[in-house]
Amino acid sequence: MTQSVNWHRPELVIPIEQLSAFADGPFNGNPAAVCLLDQWLPEALMQAIAAENNLSETAFVVSEADRHALRWFTPRCEVEFCGHATLAAAAVLFRQAPAMATLTFATRSGALQVERNGALLTLKGPALIAAACPTPAALVEALGVEPRQCLRSSDWLVVFDRQSTIEALAPAMDQLASLEGRGVIVTAPGDDVDFVSRFFAPGIGIAEDPVTGSAHCILMPYWAKRLGRSALQARQLSQRGGLLHCRLEDNQVLISGRVVPYLRGNLVLPNPI
């Protein structure tokens, strides 16, 4: 059973787990840390924990009965939306309640629902439409290759013609960090899946994210329209790699993948209260 934060001890003991979302097995997918709390910690402390974990995201969850509030921190800042850490947090809560099939998180981006479908967890996220735009010269310089097309949503969406181009990219991270927006998604048709991608966000402390659920809320509407299908399979081509099963339904993107546990333990810190 998960331990609770004990606010009356000289030390603060916080249960923590690390899990990989969109993983085929151990040592791939995108790792996230999950901390279950009785009440929110000071923001500076949550940020310090995320920086110490040094994963792309640390998720903090405060639960009351069947209500779950969720926040995400990169090593550098709090973010509005994170897909893989949401699946990781859901996996922890589903393990504690084996009969539960669906849960909803209250987040800064609104309500996010996760469903359990056998070995897969499915996140229902917003469909984010990227609008075509001129390609900034700084973006071309940072990537080192002229793209087929550039679009803009909360992230830059940069489209190429071949998977091999995506694999070969070695961006100048300092130049990417200077661009407006959260990060840069690069994408192309896949050799053995419908589309592939990589995601760079050095401006928020993530040079390259292993597998990015939130990016697929932008990718899926683009590729569904281009390919004329509402169900697609995607692979993110980071060093760890990850497989995502995506479906577009009205204004939602359903993103499914496996979550593989890696470690469980406790953080022991000075009590800030």
- Residue showing tokens 């973010």: 79
Tokens of 71: 């926040």
Tokens of 173: 């991270």
Phi, psi torsion values for 216, nearest 5 degrees: -75, -15
Catalytic residue annotation:
57
Cβ within 8 Å of residue 227, ≥6 positions away: 194, 195
Q: 3-state SS of the chain? A: CCCCCCCCCCEEEEEEEEEEECCCCCCCCEEEEEEEECCCCCHHHHHHHHHHHCCCEEEEEEEECCEEEEEEECCCCEECCCHHHHHHHHHHHHHHCCCCCEEEEEECCEEEEEEEECCEEEEEEECCCCEECCCCHHHHHHHCCCCCEEEECCCEEEECCCHHHHHHCCCCHHHHHCCCCCCEEEEEECCCCCEEEEEEEHHHCEEEECCCHHHHHHHHHHHHHHHCCCEEEEEECCCCCEEEEEEEECCEEEEEECEEEEEEEEEEEECCC
Q: Name which of 78, 117, 89, 84 is nearest 101 in CA terms.
A: 117
